[in-house]
Structures are given as structure tokens and as C-alpha cells.
Amino acid sequence: MSDRALNRPLSRIHIKDLRLRTFIGFNDDEQRKRQDVVINIHIHYDALPAARGDTVSEALDYKTITKQVIAYVEENRFFLLEALVNDLLEMVMAHTPVEYAEIEIDKPHALRFADSVSLAMSASKQS
């Protein structure tokens, strides 16, 4: 079947519920001990070359992206959830094959009567 017969949107990778601990928040207690964060990363890229050739070198290396995220989150401190989400979004978008990404981070138990507070940001590359 020719490429003209198919209209394929970009493929999606979802790194689900990556649970890490970091220093996040501006209150004294938040700066003294690590807190849990739950990270979800949605990445859109053209997976067709990798799929058609079953070629590892054509695939998005999500393992490397995940290792970068883990190292960054665990080795740094953040006052705001907004800063952490933005930093990770820029990190993911720096990978050449990525056309669109969305990062959502939950901060469990941030509010007394809520399971968590989350913030999401997205970005896309202009063609």
C-alpha cells in the first residue's frame, strides 16, 4: 500500500506514572525533605520509519529521555511546580524526533482534602 493511501498522524509514546522524589515547594518543611511527584510524559513523533524497517536506530529512545528526567528531578530543587514542568518539557522537546510533548506532574497530598495537585504544559515544533 502506498503512503498516499494512508493518512497517519504522529505516533504517541506515554511514559506513565513515573514516581520520583525531589525537593519541591517554598515552605520551610518542603525545602527540608523530599516529596513525591508523579510524572506523565506524552511524546508525539513519526514512528513510521522505525515501524516499517523494524529499525532500532529510527525509533525514539524513550529510555534515554526517562533517565534524563529521573536524574534532573532527583538532583535539583524547585520552588514551583511550574518551573519543574517547564524544565522537563524543554528537555523532552530538545530531542530531534519529538514533534509535540505534554508533561503533567502531580504533587500528591499538596492540599489537605485532595489526592494531588497537578500541572500540565505542552509544546510543539513549528514545521
Cα dist from 86 to 69, 81, 83, 94, 125, whole Å: 12, 9, 5, 12, 15
pLDDT at 29: 83
Question: Structural domains in the chain?
Answer: 9-124 (3.30.1130.10)
Nine cell digits for residue 31: 525545602
Q: Taking the model in full, what pTM does it have? A: 0.88
Paired residues of 41 in beta bridges: 15, 103
User: Could you give the C-alpha distances from 1 to 4, 48, 58, 59, 76, in angstroms and in order?
Assistant: 8, 14, 21, 22, 49
Tens digits of pLDDT across the chain (127 residues):
455 566 677 899 999 999 999 999 888 887 889 999 999 999 999 998 888 888 888 889 999 999 999 999 999 999 999 999 999 999 999 999 999 999 999 999 888 899 999 999 999 997 6
Given this model, what pLDDT does residue 3 score?
53
State whether residue 43 is helix, strand or coil.
Answer: strand
